[in-house]
């Protein structure tokens, strides 16, 4: 916590710095987002990124949940209009106020990061989707709120896309998550396909694992399909392009997993040169 209250300009600059120094599969505050909204996207991202760091970064070992509890307390105080000297909350308070953001969506993100600290196995797909509801779906809903689209049908479509994006990230990062002793593949489905934890931990690519991953990829594609209509429904043209590019990016990850023969130990990524192609496909969407 800084010793003095930063100005709003300083707080927004801090959040922009947090947002731009992290590389993600899906660009933060891309050029397709209207200029007036990009700072607010950065404010939300900085809030979520910092909480995610509490859950994941080695330097917070032994104090993760305590940091998240304090982060939640500052969020609630911020939402009530209290002065908090942390630049993220100085900036976020302006975003919450200007766009009447539901604070429970931001609180859901903290709940997901707390799950990351406490839960490393998922019994079934319902548990995985419960995680997605907190970790991914709030982001889509927050973006729709920024654009003034408070339509429950659109929110539901957004949930489908965001959950699919989260699942695509899980299947992309199976090997990375194993190094953190996290497995997002549902245990009952692993068992049904004859896949054991020991095989995963030893990086053994078996036919059973290929079939399990094909099942996961196909189900994730169906979720993307359920949400696809949102990419045509929103009236703001630049948001439509942003949604289409995000949808295409997530689908491309699934395509790469399939092209790798569902080998989860060969992590697929979208190269920098592939993004212009995705943008072009977003413009040519049909």
100 Rama class: left (phi>0) / alpha (psi -120 to 50) / beta: left
Helix (H/G/I), strand (E/B), else coil: 6? coil
Q: How far is it between the farthest Cα atoms of the chain?
A: 59
The tens place of each residue's pLDDT in the chain, 286 residues long, gives: 556 789 999 999 999 999 888 655 444 556 678 899 999 999 999 999 999 999 999 999 999 999 999 999 999 999 998 889 999 999 999 999 999 999 999 999 999 999 999 999 999 999 999 999 999 999 999 999 999 999 999 999 999 999 999 999 999 999 999 999 999 999 999 999 999 999 999 999 999 999 999 999 999 999 999 999 999 999 888 888 889 888 999 999 999 999 999 999 999 887 766 767 776 666 667 6
| CATH code of domain 1-118 | 1.10.600.10
Burial 14-32 (b: 16+ CB within 10 A, else e): bbbebbeeeeebbbbbbeb
d(CA 121, CA 11): 37
One CATH from 3.20.20.80, 1.10.287.1260, 1.10.8.60, 1.10.600.10 for 119-286: 1.10.600.10
List, in sequence order, the alpha helices (H) in the chain. 8-20, 38-56, 64-79, 87-99, 103-118, 125-135, 137-146, 152-172, 174-179, 187-192, 197-201, 207-227, 230-233, 237-259, 274-283
What pLDDT is stored for residue 26 in this prediction? Answer: 42
Indicate the pTM of the whole model: 0.91
The per-residue pLDDT for 273 is 64
Identify the DSSP state of 58. Answer: G
What sign does the dihedral 125-131-134-138 (CA atoms) show? negative
Please check whether residue 162 is in contact with residue 139, taking contact to mean a CB–CB distance below 8 angstroms: yes
What crossing angle do the helices spanning 103-118 and 137-146 adopt, rounded to 10°? 160
Structural domain boundaries of the chain? 1-118, 119-286
CB 213 within 8 A of CB 264: yes
**Is the CA virtual torsion 266, 272, 277, 278 positive or negative?**
positive
- DSSP code of residue 59: G
Chain-centroid distance, C-alpha 286: 26
């Amino acid at each position: 916590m800084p010793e003095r209250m930063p100005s709003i300009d300083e707080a927004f600059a801090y959040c922009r710095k947090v947002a731009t120094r992290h590389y993600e599969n899906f660009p933060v505050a891309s050029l397709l987002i209207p200029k007036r909204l990009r700072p607010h996207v950065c404010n939300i991202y900085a809030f979520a990124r910092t909480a995610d760091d509490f859950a994941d970064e080695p330097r917070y070992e032994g104090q993760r949940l305590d940091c998240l509890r304090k982060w939640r307390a500052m969020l609630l105080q911020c939402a009530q209009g209290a002065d908090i000297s942390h630049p993220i909350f100085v900036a976020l308070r302006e975003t919450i106020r200007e766009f009447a953001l539901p604070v429970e969506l931001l609180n859901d993100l903290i709940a997901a990061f707390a799950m990351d600290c406490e839960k490393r196995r998922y019994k079934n797909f319902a548990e995985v989707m419960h995680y997605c509801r907190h970790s991914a779906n709030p982001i889509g809903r927050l973006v729709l709120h920024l654009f003034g689209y408070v339509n429950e049908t659109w929110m539901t479509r957004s949930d489908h896309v965001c959950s699919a994006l989260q699942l695509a990230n899980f299947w992309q990062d199976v090997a990375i998550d194993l190094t953190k002793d996290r497995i997002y593949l549902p245990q009952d489905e692993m068992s049904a396909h004859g896949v054991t934890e020991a095989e995963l931990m030893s990086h053994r690519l078996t036919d059973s694992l290929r079939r399990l991953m094909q099942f996961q990829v196909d189900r994730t594609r169906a979720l993307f399909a359920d949400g696809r209509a949102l990419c045509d429904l929103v009236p703001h043209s630049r948001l439509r392009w942003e949604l289409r590019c995000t949808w295409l990016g997530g689908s491309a990850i699934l395509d790469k997993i399939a092209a790798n023969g569902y080998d989860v130990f060969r992590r697929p990524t979208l190269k920098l040169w592939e993004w212009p192609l995705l943008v072009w496909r977003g413009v040519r969407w049909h």
